[in-house]
Amino acid sequence: MNTLLLALRNLLRNRRRSLTTLLAMVIGICAVLIFGGYARNATYALQTGYVQMHGHLQIQHSNYFLYGSGNPAAYGIANYPRIMDVVKQDPVLAPLLTVVTPKLQLGGIAGNFAAGVSKNVIASGIVVGEQNQLRTWDDYGSMSYSPQFALTGTSQESVIIGTGVARMLQLCGPLKVSNCPQAPVAPVSAERAAPDDITALSALEQRADALPANQTHIEMLAANVHGAPNVVNLNVVKAENWGFKEFDDTVMIMHLAQAQRLVFGGAPPQVTAIQIQLRHTSQMAAARARLEQLLATTFKDEPLEIQDFETLAPIYGQSIRFFDSVFGFIATLIGVIVLFTVGNTMSMAVVERTVEIGTLRAMGQRRSGIRALFMCEGLLLGLMGALLGVLTALLLAGLINHSGLTWTPPGYVYAYPLKVRVWGDLGLIGGSAIGLVLVAIVSAWWPANRAAKLMIVDALRHV
C-alpha cells in the first residue's frame, strides 16, 4: 500500500465531496481552456486579417510611417520595380514569399459635384490581382471569409469607396448601400456648394471622350508631384463597409496605375510601400533580417526601411494584450476558487481523520509521512481534475468548432468561423493543467501541514 494508493482510497472514501471538488476543478480548467482557445483563435483571426491587408512586412521610404502619410511625392519609392524583382529573386527570400506587391497611398478630395458634396479621402492604389492574392492567406485555417476586391476585372477609372464616403457623397442609393441614412437635401445649388476653384478644375478635367455622367460618377482631386492640383474622373463600382467608422468615412481603393497618374502624371511613377506577404508568420524574423541585409547592401543608397504588420496595425498588439489580461484575470480567479475548494476539502478530510492521523503517528509514521499523504491527495485531485478538465474542454471545443457559429473581429465587417483552439495548443493545455495541479498541491499543503503537526495524544482523543 504505497502513499499514492492510500491517498486515492482516501479520496474515494467520501466520493460525493471528492466529485464536487473535481467538478469545481473541471469547470475551472474548462473555463480557462475554452477562453484561452477562444483568445488564441481571435488572435489568429486578427493576425490573418492584418496580414491579408498589410502583408507581413512593408518596405517604405524612411520616415514615411512617421511623417510621410498623405505625401507620396516626398516619400515615394521610385525604384520599386527593381526592389521587387530583387526581393522576389533573392534565394533566401523567394521560398518564404507568397506575394510582393506595390501600393501607393495618397490623400485627396472626392466630389460628387452633381449632388454638390465633397469629402476628403485617403486613397490606396493597388494591383488588384495581387491584393486579391494577399487576401487568400490563411495560415491558421481560419477559413477567412474576406471577399475579393470588387475592382477585379474593372477599368482603370473604377474605384471602391467606404460606405461612409458613399453616405457623405450621397451615393448610397445608386450604389445600393443598405442601412445608409439619406442626408437632408441641400438648400443651395450644387454649383454654389462646391468651391469655385474646385468646380473650375473639375470642368477643365472634363474631356470630350469622358465617360457619360452617371449616378456613381465622382471626381477626385489630389496634389500632384509638383504640388499642383490634379483631377480625375472616377467611377465607383462598390461601396464597402470597412469596420472602423473613421476608416470607412475616408477610404478609397483604386487601381495603382490610376493613382500613379493622378499623383505623378507623366513623371516616373512611384509607390509608398512594397507589401511583402510570407507563407508563415514565424518566418517574419528571418525575412526581415534578410531584407535589412539587402537594404544595407544592394539598396544602400536608397532611404528605405522595413515595417512589420504589428507596427502598421498597433491594434493587433493591443488586442493581444487585452486578451492576455482577460485570460490572466480569469485564470487567477479560477485559481483562487480552486485553491479554496481544494483547501476546504482537505481541511474537512483532516478534521474527519484526526483520530486516524493520531493512530498512524502512534504506529511510527513520521510527520513528513502524514504531510505527504495529504499532499498526495491534493496532487491526485489536481491530476484528476486536470485530466477530466482537459478532456471536457477538448470535447466542448470540438462541439463549438462544429457548431457553425461565426464571429466578426473588432474592426472587421466579414465574419470568421467561431473556433476554440484548444486541441494542439500544448502550451495552453500543459500550462493550465500544470497550473491546476500546482494550485491543488499548494491548497493541500496548509491542511497537510496542520495534520502533520497534530499532537498524537490530542489527535487520538479527538471525537
**Interface contacts to another protein, rule CB under 8 A:** 1, 6, 9-10, 12-13, 355-356, 359-369, 455-457, 460
Nearest approach in angstroms of CB 374 to another protein is 14
Instruction: Give the CA count within 13 Å in the CB-facing half-sphere of 230.
Output: 20
Residue 26 CB neighbours (<10 A): 22
Distance CA 238, CA 233 (A): 16
Q: Helices marked H in 177-313 — which ranges?
A: 190-193, 196-205, 245-248, 256-264, 284-296, 309-312
C-beta of residue 272 within 8 angstroms of C-beta of residue 64? yes
Contacts of 386 (CB under 8 A, 6+ apart): 25, 29, 432, 433, 434, 436, 437
Nearest approach in angstroms of CB 10 to another protein is 6
Pairing verdict, β 97-112 and 217-223: antiparallel
C-beta of residue 83 within 8 angstroms of C-beta of residue 211? no
List Cα–Cα distances, 411 to 33, 37, 116, 125, 437, in angstroms.
Answer: 25, 21, 31, 22, 39
- Integer-rounded Cα radius of gyration of the chain: 32
Distance CA 96, CA 84 (A): 14
Q: Identify the bridge partners of residue 240 per DSSP, sorted by sequence position.
A: 162
Distance CA 333, CA 330 (A): 5
Distance CA 407, CA 241 (A): 16
Contacts of 280 (CB under 8 A, 6+ apart): 96, 139
> Which three-class secondary structure state does DSSP give residue 405?
coil
Nearest approach in angstroms of CB 371 to another protein is 12
Residue 146 CB neighbours (<10 A): 20
Residue 181 or 364 having the CB closest to another protein: 364
Cell 465607383 belongs to 236
Residue 218 or 459 having the CB closest to another protein: 459
Distance CA 338, CA 24 (A): 7
Residue 362 or 399 having the CB closest to another protein: 362
Nearest approach in angstroms of CB 18 to another protein is 13
